[in-house]
Chains A and B, each alone.
Chain A
Amino acid sequence: MTKTYPKASRPSLDNVSVSIEKGEFVFFIGPSGSGKSTIIKLLLHEVTPNKGRVVVNSKDVTSMRSWKRPHFRRSIGCVFQDFRLLPNRTAYENVAFALEVIGKTKAVARRVVPEVLELVGLGGKEHRYPHELSGGEQQRVAVARAFVNRPLILLADEPTGNLDPDTSIEIMRLLDRINRTGTTVVMVTHDSNIVNQMRRRVIEIESGRIVRDQARGVYG
């Protein structure tokens, strides 16, 4: 599969072929501009490849019509470096918002949201606003929001990029726990510490090509 952005001199991802099994935990590593983030965008159907196919949850999303995208995304959770929480809503409301905008009732939210907040270790802090929470806690809210809909896949784009090493490890423990429930976790990072500790499958990308694909790998 190849992805070239318009006006780019070389492809962002060049003839890349990767298969990730259900329930796997995969790191994509590589220097900035290597094409890691393009992988996340392809999986979210934010961009489409110029050549080849992208298949997610046994659905070919290469030629998926854009009006089908919203429904497709409900099976994918997403976490980012900058958390992307709504500043004027509490932890509870941030998570509930993700449910309500896809048509779940308030009753469902009342049942599910405290559960998932408990799971990410924020029991008792439901009614704090993002600015009243630490960075690690904010990322926990983001993880809760990504996971509340029980997605098949969790995409994490440098989720520890803004966190100190100790907090990062706590977030990784959380992602590991989510992975153990059967959710596939795809994480883009250049945090060597974490990759080395986790010992999961590592795919290294450089200049748009896969240079290493190693089970139980290290940062290298």
Chain B
Amino acid sequence: MRVKYVLSEVLVGLWRNVTMTIAMIITMAVSLTMLGASGLIYTKVADMKDLYFERIEVSIFLEKDVSEQQRTDIAAKLDSDPLIRDVTYVNKDEAYKRFQEMFRDSPDLLSVVKADQLPESYRLKLVNPAEYKAVSDQYSTIEGVDQVVDQSRVLDKIFNLFTAGQNIALVAAIAMAIAALLLVANTIQVAAYSKRREVAVMKLVGASNWFIQAPFVLEAVVAGLIGSVVGLIALIGLKQFLFDGALSTLQGLFAPVTWGEVFLTFPVMAGVGGLISAVTAWVTLRFYLRV
């Protein structure tokens, strides 16, 4: 009976103040979507760092007119260098094959570039990718070396971009969470005011505190949970239409986001949404009802 009473009070409460309820759900949903997206970016960036740094190389490109002697000197120096784990020599033919592989979708570019135009190079795997600077300084001045290129430099820029995106999403999530929090507090105040007579009678006849508070707290929690469901739908939409749709051409660049990962954010969103709502409602009632 009491459970049924509390539940019907929750529904009546949500419906009586339906515009406020919708506002509460929307802010909650946007906040949780941002939070979910930020969480996904965070795990993806970590995945991608592992993935990329495993394959990362420092390339030493040789000058076009490099002599046989210079080349063997460089090779010997590289072989004995303790900073370097592994060396691969890429000749012009192989460089062209890689080039064809990389730009197979752009036949125009392929038809213009000849194998002869591509430089020979040594591809190095460093013992510690962070020691790029030392390697670069050492080899860039040697006769016959054109350029030393470190892929991690480029990657760092990309990852910085991701981290910035993640931070923006996180800040937006927090800002929206504050707005949602204030809306919950206000909604609960309005609800408590519209039920002030009932509450006064309940306090008078000795209804327990949880029984008086439960409908209000649950009202907020239900709104928070609905908000998290809407947030999940938004994330599904983002994956379906943005990530798998508009951005699908960039897919090789990103670690793929699986459906499993999208759905795994739901418990987190629901937990955060429900908890924030419940705590806010409860604290508001402490001040407002003094029960």
Contact = CB atoms under 8 A, between A and B. Distances in A.
Interface of A: 44, 67, 69-74, 76, 78, 84, 86-87, 97-98, 100-103, 105-106, 145, 149
Nearest to B211: A101
B214 to A, nearest CB: 11
**A-B pairs with the 5 shortest C-beta distances?**
A73-B206, A74-B206, A101-B207, A98-B205, A70-B206
B253 interface: no
B209 A102 contact: no
A116 to B, nearest CB: 13
B207 A102 contact: yes
28 contacts: A67-B209, A69-B206, A70-B203, A70-B207, A71-B206, A71-B208, A73-B205, A76-B206, A84-B200, A86-B197, A86-B198, A86-B201, A97-B201, A98-B201, A98-B205, A100-B1, A100-B2, A100-B5, A101-B5, A101-B202, A101-B211, A101-B212, A102-B205, A102-B207, A103-B2, A103-B208, A145-B201, A149-B205
Nearest to B202: A101
A84 B204 contact: yes
Contacts of A69: 206
B73 to A, nearest CB: 85
Contacts of A70: 203, 206-209
A140 B207 CA distance: 22
Contacts, number: 54
Contacts of B1: 100, 105-106
B205 A74 contact: yes
A101 B205 contact: yes
Contacts of A78: 204-205
Contacts of B198: 86, 97
Nearest to A155: B204
A75 B158 CA distance: 70
A59 to B, nearest CB: 14
Contacts of B211: 101, 103
Contacts of A72: 206
B260 to A, nearest CB: 45
Nearest to A46: B203
Contacts of A67: 209
A102 B204 CA distance: 11
A87 B1 CA distance: 23
Given A84-B201, A101-B205, 18 more contacts: A70-B207, A71-B206, A74-B206, A78-B204, A84-B197, A84-B204, A86-B198, A86-B201, A87-B197, A100-B1, A100-B2, A101-B202, A101-B212, A102-B207, A103-B208, A145-B201, A145-B205, A149-B205
Interface string B197-238: 110111111111101100000000000000000000000000
Contacts of A44: 204
B212 to A, nearest CB: 8
A109 B198 CA distance: 18
B286 to A, nearest CB: 11
Contacts of A76: 206
Contacts of A103: 2, 208, 211
Contacts of B208: 70-71, 102-103
A105 B209 CA distance: 19
A106 B8 CA distance: 15
Interface string B246-269: 000000000000000000000000
A106 B197 CA distance: 21
